[in-house]
Chains A and B, each alone.
Chain A
Amino acid sequence: MFGWGRREQSTDTGTIDMLRQELARLGERLEAAESRRDAQLELTRRELAESHETSRKLLKALGRSSLRIEQIEAMVSALGKEANPVDVAPAAAGDIERLLDALDQLDRAVASAAERSLGDLVGGLTGVRDRLDMYTVSLGLTRHRTVGVEVDGALFRVVGTATAEGAAPGAIVEIVRSAVTEGRRLVREGEVIVARENYEDKGQ
């Protein structure tokens, strides 16, 4: 807050009033600027905290995934080069299932960070996700998660429909769970939301 000093009281009244008004205006502008700055700081603090929390959770999840990868590698190695880890070792299959779930969660984390324009986090998460994806590829697995294409009932179960501007009826608009194949063999059925038929859009 601003106050008047004793020395200024000796100047003439008109100038004093003018100065008083000018200073009041300046004070209001400064207060507004401070308030905006505080709000911005608070927002940044909250975003940083959320990003930190998200990163912490993801790092924890990734830590668990890495541990599982080591276990899976050990099992795969034990089974030999010819072994199919999904068919032969139910325990390994369970771990791979958890890894695939974690990858789906990473897809969501990337999307969430992108929506909030958290560029650094998007880059980091995408890198981690791609590295894990490369690991699944090395196991001979392919994750199917392309949106915009017509749904294939052999790969995906349709779990919902949605209106989607510009999307052809039956086109995938959201991957709920990625489908996974090993060559031509389905390892895990996926789940998707597809674009609704037009007549449904018209309320029929």
Chain B
Amino acid sequence: MSTPIIGIDLGTTNSVICQLIGGRAEPIPVDGSPIVPSVVLFDGKKVVVGREARNLELQNPARVIRSAKRDLGSDVTYKIGRRNIRPEEVSAEVLRFLASAASAALGTPVRDVVITVPAYFDDAQRQATLRAGELAGLQVLRLLNEPTSASLVYEQVTEAIDAPEVVLVYDLGGGTFDVSILEVFGDVREVLATAGDSRLGGDDFDALLVEHFVEVLKGEEGFEPQSSPSVMARLRRVAEDTKIALSSQLVVSVREEFIGRSGDRDIHLALEIDRSSFDAMIAPLLDRTLLLVARAIADAGLAPADLDRALLVGGSTRIPRVHLVLRDALSDAESDGDDDPVVDIHGEVDVDLAVGLGAAIQAGLLQGAAVSRILVDVASHSLGLLAIGDQDWMGEPDTFAPIISRNTVLPAQRSHTFYTIVDGQQEVAVEVYQGEHPRASRNSRVGSFRHKLVPGPECSPVHATLAYDLDGVVKVTITQPGVAEGTTVEMSVPGATREVAPVEASLIEGKLRALIDGFPPELRAKLEAKLEAFKAAHGRAREALEDDLHELVLELEGDD
């Protein structure tokens, strides 16, 4: 059996181990999950790593070490019993655990690996990481900067450009935030600047929701939720579930029965929370990330307009608001005349695994393995509705409110809340546009319809949901909270999807053209028509045609 090609994202909170197999990078599940907590429990002679160590942390706080990555390269030692343990020894335990689990899963020993490190790691921190790999019995082929790793994996899903590119990597994980500016040209990737906050992440968003729930529960006389660890644990879980649900829903109904007791009374948590309230809660935290983004861009001696792409990494970038604020922060006010004024933002890969997957790709490149492009159908343009915005106060409404962003993996469904502008408004004109310009008139109009409203006061919410499928059809649904009937209209979006496998596609085309050259004209014309149809097709139709062409090529090659 050949040596496995392995990449490891050795994270502060969680780690990921991936392999390159058949040209594709894939995560290796450990203990049922591809994400492994970077936590180690030293229990006498026994060392427990990962989920189990994290689970027992509160019971054994003095024997558990987490986030040792923060201390790599420093003089810190952890005293556990009579042992003095260095940070690289803790990281070595995490690496050993990952490698051992991967060896068991693959049925072959894991030895040669690429390990990722933050771009801002200095020499001492890098040496400590190498030492951790050595202690774990691994051959570290290379230490790879985390943003570089992310750019490698995104390169497999985005269109190749024959020019130097400036890329921003926005990495918002559970507990840390990092932003990096990279210059990419061919195989060369240079980190121009980095900034970050090692105490900012999705856990802080959860904490804000927990605070909100606690305030609601405090309204119950005689009930002190904070005094009960079990109540707080339940609230933390509910908060995380709510945060995740709010990424796809506009309103989430939070229910947690029998959360506590006050005297003879049972207390139940029951409330509704909408996305805009959650967005308002996390706004100050997102603003902190944007300040760091601005600092990194300035440190690189650039302006937002100099950026070509922004790549999203880390689970918290799944929050729709993150995408929107980053889009706003990176749009260039001076480029109003440009048809495509904002930086291309990408989130097509699994944002939790991107760094680990990139490490496996780097390991493959170092070992001379072929790396395949990843086939993903994405929205080729942002899709949204015409709205009245701040800039429309004197003229006709012309604000474009994007709902499904460019490069969103399809099929996708996204919702947005709009508000009525007058008291007793009786209907709303729904005009669908696609494009990237903040002015709707500068984008392409897809279609329109009218929706009758149940009249209410000014600023009544109206929900718009766009469901975009692989065939380029968008279903637009307009509803009002508390009103059963909505309006749904289907529209075809021209040039809706973009396949991101130009290399493979041209290979098929090239092969087929070479094979049919000597065919009788009538037959050749038929096959060429099929080729043209393939080139013009999108989504599932394209996949079906590609399969047909593959089969045809194989048959023709067999005939030779």
Residues of A participating in the B interface, judged by any CB pair closer than 8 Å: 50, 54, 57, 61, 105, 108-109, 112, 115-116, 151, 153-154, 156-162, 170, 174, 176-177, 185-186, 189, 191, 193-194
The one of B32, B48, B58, B257 in contact with A186, judged by C-beta atoms closer than 8 angstroms, is B32
Residues of B within 8 A of A160 (CB): 58, 229-230, 232-233
B65 on interface, CB distance cutoff 8 Å: no
B57 on interface, CB distance cutoff 8 Å: yes
Residues of B within 8 A of A153 (CB): 41, 48, 51-53, 55-56
B59 on interface, CB distance cutoff 8 Å: yes
Q: Once the chains bind, are A151 and B59 in contact (CB under 8 Å)? A: yes
Given contacts A116-B264, A191-B233, 19 further A-B contacts (CB under 8 A): A50-B265, A50-B266, A54-B266, A57-B268, A61-B257, A105-B257, A109-B257, A112-B258, A154-B51, A154-B52, A156-B55, A159-B230, A159-B232, A160-B58, A177-B234, A177-B237, A185-B32, A191-B234, A191-B237
Residues of B participating in the A interface, judged by any CB pair closer than 8 Å: 32, 41, 48, 51-59, 229-230, 232-234, 236-237, 257-258, 261, 264-266, 268
Residues of B within 8 A of A151 (CB): 56, 59
Q: How far is the CA of A186 from the CA of B237 in the complex (A)?
A: 18
Q: Once the chains bind, are A158 and B258 in contact (CB under 8 Å)? A: no
Q: Once the chains bind, are A159 and B229 in contact (CB under 8 Å)? A: yes
Q: How far is the CA of A154 from the CA of B49 in the complex (A)?
A: 11
CB distance from B85 to the nearest CB of A (A): 20
Residues of A within 8 A of B264 (CB): 50, 116
Number of A-B pairs, beta carbon distance below 8 Å: 73
Residues of A within 8 A of B266 (CB): 50, 54, 109, 112
14 contacts between A and B (CB under 8 A): A50-B264, A54-B266, A105-B257, A109-B258, A109-B266, A153-B53, A158-B56, A158-B57, A159-B232, A159-B233, A160-B229, A160-B230, A170-B59, A194-B58
The closest CB in chain B to the CB of A104 belongs to: B258
**A153-B53, A193-B229 known; A161 vs B261 contact (CB < 8 Å):** no
Q: Once the chains bind, are B257 and A193 in contact (CB under 8 Å)? A: no
Residues of B within 8 A of A105 (CB): 257-258
Residues of A within 8 A of B230 (CB): 159-160, 174, 176, 191, 193
**A112-B258, A160-B230, A176-B230 known; A194 vs B237 contact (CB < 8 Å):** no
Q: How far is the CA of A50 from the CA of B264 in the complex (A)?
A: 10
Q: Which 10 A/B pairs are nearest by Cβ-Cβ distance?
A: A160-B229, A159-B233, A108-B258, A153-B52, A157-B55, A153-B55, A153-B56, A158-B58, A158-B59, A176-B230
Q: Once the chains bind, are B229 and A162 in contact (CB under 8 Å)? A: yes
CB distance from A2 to the nearest CB of B (A): 37
Residues of A within 8 A of B52 (CB): 153-154
The closest CB in chain B to the CB of A200 belongs to: B61
Residues of A within 8 A of B54 (CB): 157
Q: How far is the CA of A161 from the CA of B261 in the complex (A)?
A: 19
Q: How far is the CA of A170 from the CA of B60 in the complex (A)?
A: 9
Q: How far is the CA of A154 from the CA of B56 in the complex (A)?
A: 9
Q: How far is the CA of A50 from the CA of B262 in the complex (A)?
A: 13
Residues of B within 8 A of A154 (CB): 51-52, 55
Q: How far is the CA of A170 from the CA of B55 in the complex (A)?
A: 12
Q: Once the chains bind, are A194 and B55 in contact (CB under 8 Å)? A: no
CB distance from A131 to the nearest CB of B (A): 19
The closest CB in chain B to the CB of A155 belongs to: B55
CB distance from A149 to the nearest CB of B (A): 14
The one of B51, B233, B234, B257 in contact with A57, judged by C-beta atoms closer than 8 angstroms, is B257
Q: How far is the CA of A112 from the CA of B232 in the complex (A)?
A: 19
Q: How far is the CA of A174 from the CA of B229 in the complex (A)?
A: 10
CB distance from A70 to the nearest CB of B (A): 21
The closest CB in chain A to the CB of B265 belongs to: A50
CB distance from B241 to the nearest CB of A (A): 10
Residues of B within 8 A of A194 (CB): 58-59
Q: How far is the CA of A108 from the CA of B48 in the complex (A)?
A: 33
Residues of A within 8 A of B48 (CB): 153
Q: How far is the CA of A151 from the CA of B265 in the complex (A)?
A: 30
Q: Once the chains bind, are B234 and A161 in contact (CB under 8 Å)? A: no
CB distance from A167 to the nearest CB of B (A): 13
The closest CB in chain B to the CB of A102 belongs to: B257
The one of A50, A158, A162 in contact with B55, judged by C-beta atoms closer than 8 angstroms, is A158
The closest CB in chain B to the CB of A116 belongs to: B264
CB distance from B66 to the nearest CB of A (A): 14
The one of B55, B229, B236 in contact with A161, judged by C-beta atoms closer than 8 angstroms, is B229
CB distance from B63 to the nearest CB of A (A): 11
Residues of B within 8 A of A162 (CB): 229
Residues of B within 8 A of A161 (CB): 58-59, 229
The one of B56, B57, B234, B257 in contact with A176, judged by C-beta atoms closer than 8 angstroms, is B234
CB distance from A161 to the nearest CB of B (A): 6
The closest CB in chain B to the CB of A196 belongs to: B59
Q: How far is the CA of A169 from the CA of B32 in the complex (A)?
A: 29
Q: How far is the CA of A108 from the CA of B266 in the complex (A)?
A: 10
Q: How far is the CA of A109 from the CA of B367 in the complex (A)?
A: 60
Residues of B within 8 A of A50 (CB): 264-266
CB distance from A196 to the nearest CB of B (A): 9
Q: Once the chains bind, are A112 and B261 in contact (CB under 8 Å)? A: yes
Q: Which of A151, A153, A176, A194 has the most CB of B within 10 A?
A: A153
CB distance from A191 to the nearest CB of B (A): 6
Q: How far is the CA of A64 from the CA of B346 in the complex (A)?
A: 40
Q: How far is the CA of A153 from the CA of B49 in the complex (A)?
A: 11
Q: How far is the CA of A191 from the CA of B232 in the complex (A)?
A: 12
Residues of A within 8 A of B59 (CB): 151, 158, 161, 170, 194
Residues of A within 8 A of B268 (CB): 57
CB distance from B14 to the nearest CB of A (A): 15
Q: How far is the CA of A151 from the CA of B60 in the complex (A)?
A: 12
Residues of B within 8 A of A159 (CB): 58, 229-230, 232-233, 236
CB distance from A49 to the nearest CB of B (A): 11
Residues of B within 8 A of A108 (CB): 257-258
CB distance from B240 to the nearest CB of A (A): 12
CB distance from B389 to the nearest CB of A (A): 37
CB distance from B558 to the nearest CB of A (A): 37
Residues of B within 8 A of A174 (CB): 230
CB distance from B43 to the nearest CB of A (A): 10
Q: How far is the CA of A148 from the CA of B41 in the complex (A)?
A: 23
The closest CB in chain A to the CB of B54 belongs to: A157
Residues of A within 8 A of B265 (CB): 50
Q: How far is the CA of A115 from the CA of B264 in the complex (A)?
A: 9
Residues of B within 8 A of A116 (CB): 264
The closest CB in chain A to the CB of B41 belongs to: A153
Q: How far is the CA of A54 from the CA of B413 in the complex (A)?
A: 38
CB distance from B323 to the nearest CB of A (A): 24
Q: How far is the CA of A158 from the CA of B48 in the complex (A)?
A: 15
The closest CB in chain B to the CB of A169 belongs to: B59
Q: How far is the CA of A54 from the CA of B232 in the complex (A)?
A: 23
The closest CB in chain B to the CB of A191 belongs to: B233
CB distance from A65 to the nearest CB of B (A): 12
Residues of B within 8 A of A177 (CB): 234, 237
